[in-house]
Structure 1
């Protein structure tokens, strides 16, 4: 893997060559396996070059995560099984660097390959989401709560466990920001728009005090009819009721709100990195799955609308 000065850099190049020598002579891997490692690391080295990385000391878990995301979204995306293989190779390299004292830590320790056969997330259209949100009407405390709950779910893309875990103190004043505690107790600040703001304001002023008076007092933002914190099962039932009333004719779950949030942002021009931060994904590779949804949508639109997108026989383009 000899490369020029302007390529991946001498330290990076030497580390990869030493690793390949190690797996060949010390671990006794077959020639074909070593060559497969070499090909995977050439892809990794090229990506590092393109991102001005010349030394493994510059690489953190985030860089490796970005590299995996690149494998999903490049012009010739790899399959989940191929990405898992590349990650295994890259992980072996970083484990070797750490063991040899060439890196302070193994930055791939917490990374996991994408699940094989993972299905694309199901999102509903913007109009369908508007119908679901519009299905909740009325000024009674429960209706105001349900409206605020669903508006905030869609406005933030938060997981249902994150929504039910919110407290009143997680609302950051008048700035339309909310503090969400995700997996591993990691906190993130997420903005929300005017629809969620108005619904939350109505709930906090006219509904929550009524519900809170029925219970023993809790800082939870969303309360049940008896004043206790709202459960995840209750959220699921509220969503089912709204979806049924909307008559959109497709299944809707709490995760549908999260998937739709991400998909609609990407369709509107948001970048993947920003959506990753909003969703609280530790790896951008997880967020990249949503780009496949938008690509499929664009492909379907193109095949339907372009006069020469189909073959003469009416089939899809080859």
Structure 2
């Protein structure tokens, strides 16, 4: 099907002045250490529900937009192939591979916490106590609420940027990352994410 892709993969303001070609320009994204800090926090069952832990893992390991996240339906999850069908901007559809640990967390949420909800019959994966479908503001507000506890400003799109940035830094081809993100062109991904930081250039020169 056209527009479908399949993959198993899963600092910081932009300069406000004109910069020369090749100058430092970095994307706002979490470092590896910050990712570990966030994941350790959401692992605390006394502070974070299974649903909210799943939200963080889904944002980080699929790079979906928050609007795409709240629109995930049960039928979008294919357990046999471990894939997630995502309906993005402009009605474009893409298929993303689901990590095993993410799939297991989905199962735990669906079989436990979600099953006990009065909206357990909802077609949407993420439900709330008041609605059969979670609202994007609920995701944003919760991330903002835990930001002080974790010691960094969190918001949904940060996880999308982090996923893309880490994939590129680990050598995943930009074409693959572009398809995971659902970008309309590789050029958009390149323009947004392929940049050279001061540290990158210094490390390169140290190889001489």
Could you tell me which residue of structure 2 aligns to residue 224 of structure 1? 128
User: SS state of the match for residue 224, structure 1?
Assistant: coil
Contact 1:132 1:245 in 2 (8 A): no
With CA pairs under 8 Å and 6+ residues apart, which has the higher RCO, 1 or 2?
Answer: 2
The structural deviation recorded for 1:139 is 7.0
Q: Distance in 1 between matches of 2:54 and 2:143?
A: 12
For normalisation by structure 2, the TM-score amounts to 0.79
**Gap runs ≥5 in structure 1:** 1-77, 80-118, 310-318
Could you tell me which residue of structure 2 aligns to residue 26 of structure 1? none
Match of 1:138 among 32, 45, 49: 45
Match of 1:239 among 135, 143, 153: 143
Contact 1:159 1:254 in 2 (8 A): yes
Contact 1:133 1:242 in 2 (8 A): no
CA distances 1:239-282 after superposition (whole Å, capped 9, x unpaired): 223433222xx322111000000000000110000001000001
Could you tell me which residue of structure 2 aligns to residue 189 of structure 1? 95
Q: Distance in 2 between matches of 1:139 and 1:121?
A: 33
Q: Distance in 1 between matches of 2:153 and 2:120?
A: 36
Instruction: Give the direction of change, closer, same or farther, for the CA distance of 1:148–1:307 in structure 2 (3 Å limit).
Output: closer
Q: Cα RMSD between the aligned structures?
A: 2.5
Could you tell me which residue of structure 2 aligns to residue 267 of structure 1? 169
Could you tell me which residue of structure 1 aligns to residue 106 of structure 2? 200
Contact 2:66 2:136 in 1 (8 A): yes
- Alignment size in residue pairs: 184
The within-5 A match list for 1:44-83 is none
**Gap runs ≥5 in structure 2:** 1-19
**Which protein shows a greater Rg?**
1
